[in-house]
Structure 1
Amino acid sequence: MAIDIHAHCVPDGLVSALAAGGRRLGVEVLRAGETTRVQFAETVTAPLEPSLSDLPARLAAMDRTGVTRQVLSPFIDLTGYWLDEAAGSAYCRLFNEHMAGTVAQAPDRLSALATVPLQSGPAAAKELAYAVAELGMVGAEIGTDTGRGQLDDKELEPFWAAAAELGCLVFIHPNAAARTRFPYFLGNFVGNPSDTTVAAARLMFGGVLDRHPGLRICLAHGGGFLPYQIGRLDRGFHAYGTDWGAELTSAPRDLATRLHYDTVLHSIESTRLLIDLVGAEQLLLGTDYPFEMGDLDPLSTVAAIPGLDERERSLITHGNAEFLLGL
């Protein structure tokens, strides 16, 4: 048994639906030869890789790598945060209904995370509740940046409250690293983990994790640089407390043990450090399918981690996900 909680998807039929009716929402499909992109207001996505929508290829890849179930998450460029609230809400509903349709084609192999309109905390809470109750989704994927603000903004309190009450997973994935900010694709190599680190630190120091202790949050890419720098965050908390406007009441090291982390770290030493910090109970298997920066042999990765007993390996490969997602 192996459950992959970090696997991206462009749901079946979504691009066609956007091409036919997306302009009323401010969304346009851009095609140039074999390349397809989506434009939200003034923001254009990266090219949509065909493998994001190819279900037979996805299932075949799962079979090759021993993955029993994928938890599909939206291709992070497709959040639609750049639309206004009404258009963003309508877009998310369209996206989620198509995602549910993809899951319905292989329900024994697939589950899904919703996308929600972070343009508004109440709107995001409403869509999350709908996706979980009506579409059978197991939570939501959100970006590290809302396009208008940050994850600890008070405007998003209704969303965090709803996620805690529902007990569903919130998977936080970087989306803010400007592709033109760094050369050499460092926006991915360095920018992505940096954005995750900042987002997690804001949830800590902004008091979100203390106000909503029931939240089930998973950080992509092993939490970015957070595990390695947790000592610095702890030192800052003990040195300054709530100076500088901080609202946390728990030490960052303690808060880090409440979070969950995927295994997409590309380093056995880094993964071992993460386990030593938070425990095997907090790790979830991930691949970042279908991208080259992913780990497409995740079971071998877990098998290579030194010092794990069989119970801990089972927790990481599937047990923790089964518990968190109610699978």
Structure 2
Amino acid sequence: MPEGRVDTHHHVLPPAYRNWLIEKGLYKARPVPWSVPRTVRMLDDHGIRTAIVSTAPIGLRLDAEDLAPKAREVNEFTAEMAKDYPDRFGFFATLPLPDVDAALEEIRVAYDEFGADGVLLPTNVHGRYLGDPDFEPVFEELDRRNAVLFTHPTGVGGTPAPGIPSYVADYLLDTVRTAIDLVRTGRTVKYPNVRVILSHGGGFVPFAAHRMATAPATWGDLSTAEVVEQMRSFYFDTALTASPSSLPSLLAFAKPGHVLYGSDWPFAEEEIPYYNDFLDTHDMTTEQRDGINHANAQALFPGRIKD
């Protein structure tokens, strides 16, 4: 087991926040015990040097008037984690979209007062994807701050397929949707200083990018090659992705330096040993392995991850 991994897909469930989600009827997942001490033990057990934490995405489905104060509450909590354990934790600040003004204020507070390492946004906000014109000021500010944007799926709109939880299939599709939307609306070109991380290996972006890029009505003046190149320029984490079929596809597709380690703790606690074992034993170059484990994240978060 390598030491010194950097985990960029690592969730927190502050007790007050979790209880509030339960009261709102939003937390329906299996019971997940979570605490800061337990998380520190997890880092030690899996050779993780630092985790850049983010809240569970289920709370991001709320209306803005509910979300804004809860976003601040969670950001204060994660900022305290990073303050108390500066070598073990950084954090992605939750932004309360669709309220653009509140999101801009949270960016200011998160960076200037709390020392955030990046921001968290859902793949869609009440069915509006990240390329929505109303969200342009948020991207302008993130670009100005050279921000890292971690986007996590919340599930596509509409009725879930019977017997298939959203996280099993819809999460993957929604990540693909937001990736397509960011490229087709020009966000990836207009705001090059915003480094976007796609969760769970980008869903099925690496596997199907060339197929998706051959739809002229979607891409306007972009050629197939240009679409694929922009898709390759996203960052991808390995949460629930380091398997014999998905990891080779991801490594073949992503630009060098654009694959990051992700555990999906605590929701994937039981699965982590399997995916970590495959990462440790898969045939890849030393540069690729070191990049996934720590070097690529160090390049994204130089203020947090030191030599």
* TM-score interval, smaller chain: 0.7 to 0.9
The alpha-carbon deviation at position 60 of structure 1 amounts to 1.1
- Of the three residues 5, 8, 11, the one matched with 1:5 is 8
Corresponding position of 2:130? 151
Instruction: Tell whether 2:194 aligns with 1:215.
Output: yes
Corresponding position of 2:204? 225
Partners of 2:158 and 2:218 lie apart in 1 by: 31
Query: What does 1:279-298 correspond to in 2, within 5 Å?
Result: 279-292=255-268, 295-297=271-273
- Of the three residues 94, 104, 108, the one matched with 1:129 is 108
- The alpha-carbon distance between structure 1 residues 180 and 285, as it changes in their structure 2 partners (threshold 3 A), is same
Structure 2 residue ranges without an equivalent (≥5): none
Corresponding position of 2:181? 202
Corresponding position of 1:83? 63
Deviations 1:32-71 (A, max 9, x none): xxxx7142xxx6333584433x111111111111111111
Q: Secondary structure at the match of 2:168?
A: helix
Question: Is residue 119–residue 148 contact of structure 1 (8 Å, CA) maintained in 2?
Answer: no
| Structure 2 length-normalised TM | 0.87
Instruction: Tell whether 2:248 aligns with 1:272.
Output: yes
The alpha-carbon deviation at position 145 of structure 1 amounts to 1.1
Partners of 1:248 and 1:94 lie apart in 2 by: 42
| Structure 1 length-normalised TM | 0.82
- Report how many aligned residue pairs link the two structures: 297
Partners of 1:205 and 1:187 lie apart in 2 by: 25
Corresponding position of 1:256? 231
Corresponding position of 1:309? 285
RMSD over aligned Cα atoms:
2.5
- The alpha-carbon distance between structure 1 residues 70 and 160, as it changes in their structure 2 partners (threshold 3 A), is same
The structure with higher relative contact order (CA 8 Å, sep 6+) is 2
Partners of 1:317 and 1:277 lie apart in 2 by: 18
Corresponding position of 2:296? 320
The alpha-carbon deviation at position 208 of structure 1 amounts to 1.1
Partners of 1:7 and 1:271 lie apart in 2 by: 19
Deviations 1:225-282 (A, max 9, x none): 111111122222xxx2xx4684758822110222100012142332111111123411
- The alpha-carbon distance between structure 1 residues 270 and 87, as it changes in their structure 2 partners (threshold 3 A), is closer
Partners of 2:118 and 2:222 lie apart in 1 by: 25
Higher mean alpha-carbon deviation, 181-190 vs 258-267, is at 181-190
Question: Is residue 155–residue 167 contact of structure 2 (8 Å, CA) maintained in 1?
Answer: no
Partners of 1:259 and 1:157 lie apart in 2 by: 19
Partners of 1:234 and 1:15 lie apart in 2 by: 40
Instruction: Tell whether 2:54 aligns with 1:51.
Output: no
